[in-house]
Structure 1
Amino acid sequence: MTQTRPHPFLPATAPVRRGRVNGGLLRIGLLVALMGGPAMAQDPRPEPRPAAETVTEDAARPGPPMRGLAGPYLAARMATIESDFRAAARYFVQAAAHDPSDVFLQDSALMALASSGEVERAAAMAERLILDDRGTELAGLLRRAQLVRAEDWDTLIALIEDRGDADLALDQDLMDGTIRAWALLGAGRAGDAVQAFEAMAAIPELAPIVNYHLALARALAGDYEAADRLIVESEAVGHLMGLTARVQILSQLDRRDEALEILDQLPGIEAEPQLVALRDRLREDQPVAFDVVAGPSDGIAHLLLSFAAALANGPDPEPLALIHARLAAWIAPGNPEARLMSAQLLQDRLQFDLAEAEYDDVRRMGQMRPQAELSRIDALSRADRGDEAERAALALTAAYPDLAAAWVAHGDVMRQAERFADAIPSYDRALSLLEDAPGDARWFPLFARGIALERSGDFDRAEADLLAALEIRPDQASLLNYLGYSWIDRNENLDRALEMIKRAVELAPGDGYILDSLAWAYFRLGRYQDAVAPMEQAIATMSSDPLVNDHLGDIYWKVGRQREAEIQWRRALSLDPTDSGEVDPDRIRDKLDRGLDAVLADEDGVVPSHPTQAPQSQSAQTKAEAAE
């Protein structure tokens, strides 16, 4: 199963040299990105940043009045830290109005406006700055986008050619050089456009991406022979948009059999509905148009998306990635890829309301993408927006009833909501669809169904699923941990179970949940002294977890460290254990009043079961493995 790419023309691991927006500083990373990788590349996207407030309608409402510069500036900075782009835009605009000479404030206002989706307002502000001779590089980029959207090609060409102290010649500048070449085509100067593209393509490090754009331009002009040669030379056929372009070009050359062969040999095509539809049209001998780009604006949008992908996938995702994606969507509003990338970048910053608006636009285009929807469902679930995640998962299973990943996603949503009985039928459906699939496609649904069955009280079936998953992935730490502790909790297979948990710790030595499992397993076996070290290691990584603090208190009590036990129990209470759902605060208070031994005696010696940490979703598991 493939994962959603930030942009279908670039692999997800595109490095980038950050700094100026100028294309010269970005070109190396972009070119490396364009030179390789499978058509269906996996997406080791970073997990969303923790603990940011989700944007709501309240964020768009006017905040309290703030006099002077300091108030709006501080409010804008706080909103920026939380990626609350609407609030940041409002306050940075206020701050910039107080000090129009401050370039930082102007740029911050432009960035916040564009990030929040107010691109037209940002572009108008950028135009004023440039007319007042107070322009910045970001203002220049916005002004270029404004002229592209207006199709004012002559003004755009003049703006780019009069760049003053630009540090690169136009034929060496990937961004400005490519925009200018497309603008020349838009202005009706096809010969000059081709000459501009070819001058850039003469530079070896620029040739791959420039030849791709020249191929698109040649195809627009009807020169499909040259377009086919150029697109093959560009190596863009290794990526979704380039591959789509080549298939469409081959169709115009009456080489439909060759085009169909390319699609038939493509692994994972069932997860890309636009490619499936293209293949079906070819098989049925229906007309296939060349529509990857409809004009220069679309070509420039492709370029902006390439920059956005490279910026998003560096060691630290760049805020400018979202700006480039927003600009691409603004100048090419019919391009679903631009909206998908904007949605995913917003989602990564936990701005779900803004992201949902982009996803809605994509769906209205009739372009529901399974991989994007899976990423969206996973993010909504992790943001505790379970009702929205459930609706999205049900919509995906309805649209793609034979897509196993959709059923796994629905099962994951149900499991995370602790609706374990409701999760089981979805996992059943997924596994029936995966009956003949390789083991790597089956292990997670088996694991997840095993968890749902175990939590539903059907341990015999759960054990069978967990063992089957373990046979496929014998060194999967979470799986070893879950089955091992389940056995210990049931007082079964104790020696093997403890060895499994020890092996899980070896495989994931920094995982606090697994360390907690090992310590708690020792506790359940009465080996209290052995439990101390792993539980202290667990608390070092999970100091704010009430369950782990409670466990450490119990272990300290059993080894005669009663004063330290009381400290840990009080700390567990201070962490609001009611919210966790895993710790009973009244039981902790009872231990503080009477001691652990008295509490256990009343409970007939039964220690509350330890809810081992289960994987959240298949999407999250895949991302974690890709990042390792």
Structure 2
Amino acid sequence: MMGAALPLPAQDRPEPRPQQLQGGSESSPEMAEAEEEAEPESPPAPLTFGLAGPYLAARMAAVENNFTAAARYFVQAVAHDPQDRYLQDSALVALISAGEVNRAVQLANQIAAQGEPTELSQLVLRSELVHEGNWEGLIASIDETGTGEGAETQLLEGMMRAWALMGAGRAQEALDEFERLVKLPGVAPVVQYHLALARAMVGDYEGAEALLSNSAIGSHLLGFTARAEILAQLERRDEAIAMIDSVQGVEAEPQLLALRAKLESDEPIPFDVVKTPADGIAQVFLTLASALANSPDPEPLALIHARLAVWLSPDTAEIRLMMAQLLQDRQQFDLAEPEFDALRRMGQMRPIAELSRIDALSRADRADEAEKAALSLTAAYPDLPQAWIAQGDLLRQQEKFAQAVPAYDKALTLLKDAPPEASWFPLYARGIALERSGQFDRAEEDLLAAIELRPDQASLLNYLGYSWIDRSENLDQALEMIKKAAELSPGDGYILDSLAWAYYRLGRYEEAVAPMEQAIGTMSQDPLVNDHLGDIYWKVGRHREAEIQWKRALSLEPTDSGDVDPDRIRAKLDRGLDAILAEETAKGQPHGTAHASTPASQAEASND
């Protein structure tokens, strides 16, 4: 999904008025006196008072998806210009995105009191009517303005009205309204799903089942759940169990698994996918949020609909999950965490969503949180191999190689009865962890087993090939492996570096030049590649160019803890490479390294 900035309202936004940017339209007596004493040519005051400061801070926070800060600053800006519709709408967007829906309702009421509601403020006030169960008030609000333009607006307002009719006890009118909405272009399956829920609420389970049996209408988690509950009311439990068993990936859906267990044990099963019309409207918001989030050009208003859905139906796990994922996609992990916590409390931790969350936390350099999430996942789902692989990957990325091995051991044990292809990545990952923790014999076994399963996996071939080169073992086979890896992934700078370094370690310096120059073209900011190119240039007699590359490697600020030793580079610049190699040989030290260790990000990308 996407990480978009806060949406702006449809109307064009004029820039703040000059007097606002200079400190607001009103000034204190002290400020007025100071202005009289100032020279006419004095420069304007810095933009730190009045509207300008909060406005600019809010815009910056909005661009960065920092919804909490954006809400604070936009509210401050509204206080300086309480009639500005742009600022009001922006404050509403930020407040809702930050989860402060009650404050958004207060602001929406202030806007309404001014007599010119915005489209967003009107939506918030209608959501408040739903929250209060004021169904007649909601019907009147929609009827007063009529349905808006555009299919999305007509669908939203029409569905809200239909559910409000259900809440007001006017069931037949509600069903008729749903039937009318079915005729809108392109939305029939969505409306028919809600029509099925409404029919089930009034006891027409046969009619509801007839609709949900259509795969175009009910083929999603809430649809499967609703249909299973409806079949239970019709005393057709065997069909419900068979339907759940046919759901792809059902083993990772705790909601369906728990429902299946109840069906098998003949426990009473109520129809409660929607308990109230508010739950139905929340699912309307969820549908819109999902559509907007998954559109080719993802729409940031998805977050608004998801927040309102959570507010109206906080116990619906699917809504919580959508909310958490939208926040996670925007790198707002602190706001997403309460949603994930709510899912855990509800017993609705979703393995697929948790794996995505762990990956997102890791990529955001929040390793401690990612590791905690991985431990929680393995505790909740100890028989899920992907959970153990995720834990091993996190430990390996933190260079805790010895600690990562047992996690991969557990994953491979759980995969022993799975198709062999499923084991290639944990074998590869465990091979890396074993090699880096000094257990090369075991690592070699794993890497060879993984290559047997994936003979055309470039990073895998590269890793074992260079490991052999580095140990002066199986040199011809190793070089062929790295050549094949380079052919399979010709633009991969890491593999080109390994190929060049393999030639270098074999004394084939002239052949090393071209692939290393290609590697530097893709990884010019990598100090190790620059260092390597310097060594190769030195060996082919291009000493001046070698010194330039070593100096560039130093300018990229390598650290002692990385693959490049800055002191060694300085020694080469001072005494030349040949002298350094002679000293290292006399001491029995290795001569540098290469990118045989596939970076964590590349290894994860290979796990498909």
Is this a same-fold pair by TM over 0.5?
yes
| Cα drift, residue 94 of structure 1 | 2.5
Change (3 A) 1:515 1:279: same
- How far apart, in 2, do the equivalents of 1:510 and 1:149 lie? 56
**Contact kept? 1:444, 1:618, Cα under 8 Å:** no
1:523 corresponds, among 479, 487, 504, to: 504
- How far apart, in 1, do the equivalents of 2:423 and 2:271 lie? 38
- How far apart, in 2, do the equivalents of 1:330 and 1:498 lie? 61
2:591 corresponds, among 607, 610, 622, to: 607
**Contact kept? 2:250, 2:256, Cα under 8 Å:** yes
SS in 2 for 1:162: helix
| Cα drift, residue 505 of structure 1 | 3.3
Task: Tell me which residue corresponds to 1:42.
Answer: none
Residue range with higher mean Cα deviation, 495-504 or 116-125: 495-504
Q: Is residue 2:553 matched to residue 1:569?
A: no
Change (3 A) 1:492 1:175: farther
Cα deviation digits, residues 562-610 of structure 1 (max 9, x gap)? 4443343333333332297332222233233333333322222732222
| Cα drift, residue 407 of structure 1 | 1.4
| Cα drift, residue 510 of structure 1 | 3.7
| Cα drift, residue 400 of structure 1 | 1.6
Task: Tell me which residue corresponds to 1:185.
Answer: 166
Cα deviation digits, residues 450-479 of structure 1 (max 9, x gap)? 111111222222122222222222222322
Task: Tell me which residue corresponds to 2:338.
Answer: 357
SS in 1 for 2:213: helix
Q: Is residue 2:285 matched to residue 1:304?
A: yes
Task: Tell me which residue corresponds to 2:267.
Answer: 286
Task: Tell me which residue corresponds to 1:383.
Answer: 364
Aligned-pair RMSD on alpha carbons?
A: 2.9
- How far apart, in 2, do the equivalents of 1:185 and 1:267 lie? 34
- How far apart, in 1, do the equivalents of 2:323 and 2:218 lie? 24
> What are the equivalent positions in structure 2 for 1:88-487 lying under 5 Å apart?
88-163=70-145, 166-168=148-150, 173-203=154-184, 205-233=186-214, 235-487=216-468
SS in 2 for 1:135: coil
| Cα drift, residue 431 of structure 1 | 1.0
- How far apart, in 2, do the equivalents of 1:526 and 1:69 lie? 69
Give the count of matched residue pairs. 566
Cα deviation digits, residues 323-379 of structure 1 (max 9, x gap)? 222221111111222222222222222222222222112222222222222222222
How does the TM-score come out when normalised to structure 1?
0.83
The one-letter amino acid of 2:211's match is: L
- How far apart, in 1, do the equivalents of 2:186 and 2:319 lie? 26
Change (3 A) 1:135 1:568: farther
Task: Tell me which residue corresponds to 2:31.
Answer: none
How does the TM-score come out when normalised to structure 2?
0.85
The one-letter amino acid of 2:137's match is: T
| Cα drift, residue 402 of structure 1 | 1.2
Change (3 A) 1:196 1:395: same
| Cα drift, residue 441 of structure 1 | 2.0
- How far apart, in 2, do the equivalents of 1:245 and 1:339 lie? 18
The one-letter amino acid of 1:125's match is: L
Relative contact order higher in (CA < 8 Å, ≥ 6 apart) = 1
- How far apart, in 2, do the equivalents of 1:374 and 1:619 lie? 16
SS in 1 for 2:559: helix
| Cα drift, residue 554 of structure 1 | 3.0
**Contact kept? 1:378, 1:620, Cα under 8 Å:** no
| Cα drift, residue 164 of structure 1 | 6.0
- How far apart, in 1, do the equivalents of 2:231 and 2:602 lie? 37
**Contact kept? 1:339, 1:358, Cα under 8 Å:** yes
Task: Tell me which residue corresponds to 1:49.
Answer: none
Structure 1 unpaired stretches of 5+: 1-5, 7-11, 13-17, 22-63
The one-letter amino acid of 1:621's match is: A
Residue range with higher mean Cα deviation, 527-536 or 401-410: 527-536
- How far apart, in 1, do the equivalents of 2:52 and 2:8 lie? 27
**Contact kept? 1:478, 1:615, Cα under 8 Å:** no
The one-letter amino acid of 1:249's match is: I
Residue range with higher mean Cα deviation, 601-610 or 341-350: 601-610
The one-letter amino acid of 2:179's match is: E
**Contact kept? 2:9, 2:89, Cα under 8 Å:** no
| Bigger radius of gyration among the two | 2
SS in 2 for 1:254: coil
- How far apart, in 1, do the equivalents of 2:603 and 2:258 lie? 25
Structure 2 unpaired stretches of 5+: 11-45
> What are the equivalent positions in structure 2 for 1:43-122 lying under 5 Å apart?
66-122=48-104
Residue range with higher mean Cα deviation, 517-526 or 205-214: 517-526
The one-letter amino acid of 1:142's match is: V
Task: Tell me which residue corresponds to 2:478.
Answer: 497
- How far apart, in 2, do the equivalents of 1:501 and 1:143 lie? 64
Change (3 A) 1:415 1:154: same
Change (3 A) 1:270 1:597: same
Change (3 A) 1:130 1:469: farther
- How far apart, in 1, do the equivalents of 2:119 and 2:544 lie? 62
- The sequence identity of aligned pairs, in percent, is 66
Residue range with higher mean Cα deviation, 598-607 or 193-202: 598-607
